Amino acid sequence: MRARLIDSLQNLYPDCDAARLPVVRAAVDVARGGTIAVHFLVNDVPAGGRVRAAVTTAGGRAVRAARWFQLLDVPVEENTGLHIFTEKAGEVNPYVVRRAPFRTYDAVAPVAFPLACPGGTLALRLVIPVAADERPGPRRYAVTLSCRQATVELGFAAEVHPAVIPAVGRASLPYTNWYSLALMAERHGLKAWSEEHWRMIGRYAQMMVHGRQNTFWIPWPDIFSQGPRGVVLNRERLRRIVKVFTAAGMHFIEGGHVAHRTGGQWESPTFSIVLTNTLATTPEGNADLACACTQLMEEIAQNRWQERWIQHVSDEPTRENAADYRILTGMVRKHMPGLPILDATMDASLAGSVNIWCPQCQEYQKHRELFEAQRALGDKVWFYTCCCPGGPWLNRLLDEELLRPALFGWAAALFRLDGFLHWGLNHYRTDQDPFQKSVVGHGGDNRLPAGDTHIVYPGADGPWSSLRLEAQREGFEDYELLRLLQAKRPALAAKVLARAIRGFDDYTKDPAVFRAARRALLKGLA
């Protein structure tokens, strides 16, 4: 049995040979309130054996806080395209980590030992939480892995730095992953809106907060139904959704989109109300909108959610439907006064329609002057990724370096952006088992790239994290510390950032370089 300690931001595959992998850094640098995380790749595990693992301090004491996870591999059937979706005929994206098809470790499943193993290769993740009030200083750990008569012993060091990672909440970077509450029931065999479903929603909320998500969306179809005199707000359900996510630690509430493109056609110049399908900017659409918004605003005022609420109008408006979108946002402002409007927006023709712009990261960088001009007028600017961008740009897809989602937070600090959005927490398609299918159709010959639909997995008793979620969490923890350093020592912060990232398409791909930059960040805050 052979094993090697692996950096948690190093991509790993089931066919990896531990002896050929790079030797991990000597020490893990961590701020208080963070986590020490390392991976172990074990080859030649005896067939049919039961693997045991133990972690102790240098003094031989068991580390009771240690948590172990097994890394599960998932497929990458096609590579991400150079610009969007997956590669088309004749297109080759040279910026992927491997040529498809291949399998890569991503799902993070909690385990208890002894662990039954069919033999061959096993990948494990060790996590040791560091309390916010823990004493700073060096740590040394010894890890023993055994199966039958085979035993491997490994060791590593950690440095706990004085800096403290701020808690997730109102003051942390606004961050949302859109989710499906229905799939939280369906993929776990639960009846929708049963008590078991509500408990499962709570587990998903806790996982989101673990990933530093502090913003949760409420799609209108989940809280409205059709009544004899128009749409009716399910006030009890709305209050409970807010209660569950607030209890988990989230703060900002996203009102779901009020409209979609008419007929579901991307090129449509008009929008229709999601609840009734009436043309949005007609008298009938206005009446439907007023009916829903009036009820919703009553609840928002009664529960004092005004400061927390962000409202969507329609997703990804473009120059082709900008005229209808601008009228529609005016209607929403009339019926929901005082609430900021956020949508995925990238075109100058939409200026004045939203309070919070949300361009894709490559569009922000290419047209930075446009967005900064809007920010100078009082708007905020988030960024998002989805089935694009491909190529060299930061994204969180399965055929890209794990460093890319880790660098989201560094990019947000570099450009001083105000938030991040992604559509896919658990949006598995009907025919998609995310453990066995990563690339799915998206109309015509378009396919969503591997991992775009989700960043968590439906585990045995709740959501399981992913290496991409964990990498992004690390980067968003770094964001909070980078902002502290920017306020305290701006020149040093600029130097630290430049070591890891210079733009959304210009960054290190070497985990060792990234770790050195993080160490400089933590030392700069001491």
What residues does each domain of the chain span?
2-166
**Helix (H) or strand (E) segment spanning residue 29:** strand 27-32
Please give the Cα distance from 102 to 105 (Å, whole number): 10
User: What's the pLDDT tens digit per position in 356-389?
Assistant: 999 999 999 999 999 999 999 999 999 999 999 9
Averaged pLDDT score across all residues of the chain: 96
Pairing outcome for strands 259-261 and 271-273: antiparallel
User: What's the pLDDT tens digit per position in 428-486?
Assistant: 999 999 999 999 999 889 999 999 999 999 999 999 999 999 999 999 999 999 999 99
With 60 as the cut, is the pLDDT of residue 193 above it? yes
Task: Supply the angle between the helices 408-415 and 467-488 in degrees, to the nearest 10.
Answer: 30
Token duo for residue 336 = 């929901």
With 60 as the cut, is the pLDDT of residue 181 above it? yes
Q: Summarize the confidence of residues 39-43 as an average pLDDT.
A: 96
Architecture of domain 2-166 in this structure: Sandwich (2.60)
Q: Summarize the confidence of residues 207-215 as an average pLDDT.
A: 98
Phi, psi at 314, each rounded to 5°: -155, 150
Express as a percent the part of the chain with pLDDT over 70.
Answer: 99
User: What's the pLDDT tens digit per position in 2-38?
Assistant: 999 999 999 999 999 988 877 665 689 999 999 999 9
pLDDT score for 20: 84
**What contacts 377, CB < 8 A, 6 or more positions away?**
none
Instruction: Let me know the angle formed at the C-alpha of 463 by 431 and 218, rounded to the nearest 5 degrees.
Output: 80
Task: Give me the residues paired with residue 266 across strands.
Answer: none
DSSP 3-state of 313 = coil
- At 119, the pLDDT band (50, 70, 90 cuts) reads confident
pLDDT score for 457: 98
pLDDT score for 118: 87
Q: Summarize the confidence of residues 121-148 as an average pLDDT.
A: 96
pLDDT score for 440: 98
pLDDT score for 228: 87
Question: pTM of the entire structure?
Answer: 0.97
Please say whether the beta carbons of 111 and 70 come within 8 A.
yes
